[in-house]
Structures are given as C-alpha cells and as structure tokens.
Amino acid sequence: MTTGDNGPLAFQVNTQRHRLLLVMPLLVCVVLFVSCGGSNATAPAVPTPTAMASPTPTPVVGVTHVTMTITAQFQPAYIQVPVGTTVTWTNNDNVGHTVTFRNGMMDSGRIDAGGGTFRYTFASKGIFPYYCTIHPSMVGVVIVT
C-alpha cells in the first residue's frame, strides 16, 4: 500500500471524527442552555431594607449605683428606680466625665477620675436620658416609676 490509501481503517477514523465534530457543538449548546437556567422565570426581587428602630434595652431594676468605666461607658446605662431614690454615679475611669440630663434639670459638672462621685435624688416619675458632655457618645437613662 504505497498510495497512502488505508482502506476501511481510514473510513472508520474519518467517520468517528465527523461524528465528534457534530456532537461537540451540540454538547456545548446543551451546557450553555443548562447553565443559563433554560427557563423564562425571573429572578426574585431583592427585598428593600426598611428602617428599624434601635432596640431599647431593658432597664436594670432597683440598681442605684452607676459606674463610669475605663471604656467610657455608664454601667449599667439603663436603670429603673422608684420615686425618691438617690442614684450615685462613680467615675472609675482615668479621665473626667459628667452626668448631664438632656432636659436640663441637672448637670453634675466634671466628676473627677479615679473615684469621684455625683448623687441625684429623683423626686418625680419620668424617663430621664443623660450623657457625658466631655464624651457625648456616653449615654444612659434613668426611668423613675
């Protein structure tokens, strides 16, 4: 066989190659169709975030002593006491703080670091938010019942 004609073997190889060339594009189309979902269904809408109120912490009932901590926080920050209770704030931080009521009824002035104190007696019912004028992110609330 010097002519390069391989007879039936060449025909069989060419037929397999021809089938492969027909099958490959079909497989590519199937894979693309499946990966795209293959349906007309629309994607679910992304929910729109809604504004939520910050949760109000539950006040600690009966506590009459609030500490100013080294992390610049009132601890506990939310307390509930009966009318006539004297609450004491102690500054255990290494910097000065104040207890300033938002309604303007009282301002402790600077409470010295390392153990300075401030006391206030609540004579009426109400909700009394307060903060530190030196560190306005320090906030607390006294609820008087």
From first to last of its 145 residues, the chain has per-residue pLDDT tens of 555 555 555 555 555 555 656 656 666 655 555 555 545 555 555 554 444 445 567 888 888 899 988 888 999 999 999 999 999 999 999 999 999 999 999 999 999 999 999 999 999 999 999 999 999 999 999 999 9
In one-letter notation, the amino acid at residue 23 is: V
CA distance 119 to 108: 8
SS (H, E, C) 119-133: EEECCCCEEEEEECC
Could you check whether the bond before residue 59 is cis, i.e. omega within 30 degrees of 0? no
The answer, as to whether pTM is greater than 0.85, is: no
Contact 92, 67 (CB under 8 A): yes
